[in-house]
Amino acid sequence: MKILVTGGAGFIGSHVVDAYLAAGHDVIAVDDLSTGRKENVDSRARLYELDIRDAELERLFAAEKPDVVNHHAAKASVRESMVHPALYADVNVLGSLNLLELSRRHGVRKFIYISTGGAVYGEPQYLPADESHPICPLDPYGASKAAFEHYLPLYHTHYGLSFTVLRYANVYGPRQDPLGEAGVVAIFSGQMLRGEQAVINGSGEQERDFVYVGDAAQANILALDGGEGGIYNIGTGVGTSINEVFDQLKAATDYQRSAVHGPAKAGEVFKVYLNADKAASELGWKPSTSLEEGLSLTVDYFRTRA
């Protein structure tokens, strides 16, 4: 099967590329390299340096004729989206719609869309949040990701394009940017290994659902032939506080400093974790990597690059 992975040089997308290659598929990666890295992409995949809004994508679709589009590319910072909401609508809605139109015109069989379970639900009315939970994002990033979900059943109804939506929890692991402003596990790991002061935003009692990147990649394998027309949370169902993550990483890195707390960030949900029972029953997906194991693997990766 020929699969086009957008954001394929990025943190999560590159792991999905790896998983598809390991399963024997022919993989094309598309990435504008604004945050992705060429070195993340396995040499067996063909990497095209393109923005998802780029008109040149028409030639790519015509030449490569992918069977499946796996759409990971996005602007994905809650904090940046609060400052640049129009940019997030442009990339995450209009850019995604460009891909959907190209898929329709060039005979793509299936469109796998990566949404966010960490942001579309807003401050949850109940926990763990399942897929029936009301959509009420607190930031333009979550709003843009949720908005595009509505186009997928429309394209299925009118054009027969099949789809699956995966709503990720907080994915962490190797290749995440330790110098960025999102991805607390990578940021803390990098700071601790460099001996720098790690700062917790707010009280640290915020809770997130941390799912290891290898487990998230496996959901994308299962979505190739399963989950037709469905929306699936991809998470562990367990909330872990930022303070707990700090303490576990402090032990794993032998970090000698105590936590320092800064101001809380606008637009961020306080507590969210996801019910992934639907993914278990319909996709056959369950997370297999414990937080302790995943944090250890992540620290080991960053230690080799410190």
How far is 246 from 261, CA to CA, in rounded Å? Answer: 12
Number of Cβ within a 10 Å radius of residue 89: 18
* DSSP string for residues in 55-119: TTHHHHHHHH--SEEEE------HHHHHH-HHHHHIIIIIIHHHHHHHHHHTT-SEEEEEEETTT
CB 299, CB 193: distance < 8 Å:
yes
DSSP code at position 8: T
- Strand, helix or coil for residue 162: strand
Q: How would you write 119-130 as a 3-class SS string? A: CCCCCCCCCCEC
CB 121, CB 272: distance < 8 Å:
yes
CB 215, CB 284: distance < 8 Å:
no
The single residue listed with the structure tokens 């996801």 is 274
Q: Which of 20, 141, 212, 255 is catalytic?
A: 141
Distances (CA, A) of 198 to 109, 140, 242, 253, 271: 46, 27, 12, 12, 21
**In degrees rounded to 5, what are phi and psi of residue 63?**
-80, -45
How far is 80 from 162, CA to CA, in rounded Å? Answer: 32
Q: Does the annotation mark 141 as catalytic? A: yes
Handedness of CA 290, 141, 30, 157 (dihedral sign): positive
How far is 200 from 191, CA to CA, in rounded Å? Answer: 12
Greatest distance between any 2 Cα atoms in the chain: 59
Catalytic residue ranges: 141
